[in-house]
Amino acid sequence: MSYLSIRNLSVRLKGGPPLLRRVSLDVGPGEVRGLVGESGAGKSMIGKAVLGILPPSVEVTGGEILLGGTDLLGLPPKDRRRRIGATCALIPQDPLTALNPSHRIEPQITDRLVNILGWTRAAARARARDLLEEVHLPDPERVLRAYPHELSGGMRQRILIASAFAAEPKLIVADEPTTALDVTVQKQILKLIREMQARHGTALVFVTHDLGVVSKVCQHLSVLYAGMVVEDARVADFFAAPRHAYSAALLAATPKYTDPDAGLNPVPDAVIDAVRAEVAAFDAAKARRGAA
C-alpha cells in the first residue's frame, strides 16, 4: 500500500502552457522514488505540488494527490497545510540559503516542533541534540549554538537533513539535495539520507538530474519530459534495459568514467522529435476531450 499516490496530476502556468501532464506515481513507506529529467521537465514541480508550495503563478488543473489515503487537493487550504506540516518535510537544494543567516541553528530545528506540534522547549532541544548526533555531527551542543555561516556546506546539509527528520515525517521530498556539494561530500550526504530514511521507514521522493545518483539511492524512478512521465520503472530494470527511447538516450548521455567511450552522447534529434510528438499528441487528445 503506497503512502503517497499521485493520480493524473496536471499543473499549468496560469493562463499559459501545461507544466505537468497527467502525472501519476506511487511511493510506499520506506521506499525511495527518483524523479529525473532535464531542467524544465517538471520534476521539482511535482515535489512542490505535494508540499503545497507551488509558486503563485502556477495552478493545479486536475488530478489527485493522495497522502495516506486522503486527497490533499480536496481539503480546505487550512486543513491541507496542517496535514502537510504534520506528515511531510523537505530537504532543500541549497544548504547555503535554506538556513536563516541571522538565527542560531537551535531554533531553526526546534521552532517547528514547539510551534506547530506543541512540544516543550526542553523536549525539542533534546530531540535536536539527538538528531545532530544521528547525522554524525561532532559536538552537537556547539553546533546548536552556532550561526549558519560558521559551518561548512556539508555540515549545513546535515543539519537540514536532521531538521527534516525531526518531526518523524511519513514523507520527505528531497529536491536536488546534493547538486551544490562536492562529489566527496555528496557521497557522505547520500549515504546519510539513505541511512536515515531506512531507519525511520520514511517514504522519500528524490528529485535529481543525475542518473548515477538515482542508481544508488532509489528503488523506483519516474523519467519526465515536458511534464509527462515517459517511463516509470524499478531501478534495477531501468538500468538493465530502459523501455522508452528518450530515457535510454538520457542514460547514454550520462558520463561513465570507467569507460571513456561510453556515456556523454547527446540525446539524438530523432529521439527529441519523437518525444515531442508524443507530448503534442497528448495535448491534441486533451484539446479534443475538452472540445467534446
Partner 1 sequence: MADAKGMDGRSMIRRRAGPRLWLSAGWLSILCLAALFAPWVAPHDPLAQDLFLGRMPPFWMAGAEPGYWLGTDSLGRDVLSRLIHGARVALAVALIAGTITCLVGATLGLLAGFLRGWVDIVISRLIDIWMAFPPVLFSILLIAVLGPGLVSIIIAIVVIDWTRFARVVRAEAMAQGAMDYVSSAQVAGRPRIGIMLREILPNLLPTIGVLLTLEMGIAVIVEAILSFVNLSISTDDPTWGSMIAEGRTAIHQAWWVLVFPLITLFLTVLSFSQLGEGLKDRFDPVLR
Partner 2 sequence: MSDLYRIENLRLALADMTAKPLFGPAPRIEILKGLSFGIAKGAVVGIVGGSGSGKSTLGRALVRLLEPSGGSIHFDGTDITHLPEAVLRPLRRRFQMIFQDPMSSLNPRHRVGTLIAEPLRLHRLDAIPDRVARALDHVGLPQNFATRFPHELSGGQRQRVGIARAIALEPDFILADEIVSGLDVSSQAQVLNLLERLVSDLGLTLAFISHDLSVIRRLCQRTLVLHQGRIVEDRPTAELFAAPASAYTRDLLEAIPLPDPSQPWL
Which partner from the list partner 2, partner 1, none does 56 bind, CB cut-off 5 to 8 Å by kind?
none
Q: Which residues bind partner 1 (CB under 8 A)?
A: 17, 40, 226, 266-269, 272, 276
Task: Judge contact between 196 and 161, C-beta under 8 A.
Answer: yes
Task: Judge contact between 210 and 5, C-beta under 8 A.
Answer: no
Kind and range of the H or E element at 197? helix 183-200
Cβ at position 97, least distance to partner 1 in Å: 17
86 versus 96: smaller Cβ distance to partner 2: 96
Cα–Cα distance between 120 and 161 in angstroms, integer? 22
Of the candidates 244, 101, 197, which has an alpha carbon nearest to the alpha carbon of residue 189?
Answer: 197
Strand partners, 88: 171
Which partner from the list partner 2, partner 1, none does 74 bind, CB cut-off 5 to 8 Å by kind?
none
Which partner from the list partner 1, partner 2, none does 39 bind, CB cut-off 5 to 8 Å by kind?
partner 2
Task: Give residue 42's identity as a one-letter amino acid code.
Answer: G
Cβ at position 31, least distance to partner 1 in Å: 33
Q: Which residues bind partner 2 (CB under 8 A)?
A: 38-39, 149, 153, 182-187, 190-191, 194, 209-217, 235-236, 239, 249-251, 253-258, 260, 263-267
Which partner from the list partner 2, partner 1, none does 209 bind, CB cut-off 5 to 8 Å by kind?
partner 2
The residue assigned the cell 519526465 is 224
Task: Judge contact between 238 and 33, C-beta under 8 A.
Answer: no
Cβ at position 268, least distance to partner 1 in Å: 8
Residue 55: CA count within 13 A, CB half-sphere: 9
39 versus 184: smaller Cβ distance to partner 1: 39
The residue assigned the cell 518525444 is 275
Cβ at position 271, least distance to partner 1 in Å: 8
151 versus 223: smaller Cβ distance to partner 1: 223
Of the candidates 1, 5, 211, 217, which has an alpha carbon nearest to the alpha carbon of residue 91?
Answer: 217
Cβ at position 42, least distance to partner 1 in Å: 13
Which partner from the list partner 1, partner 2, none does 265 bind, CB cut-off 5 to 8 Å by kind?
partner 2
Strands 88-91 and 171-175, by their bridges, are parallel
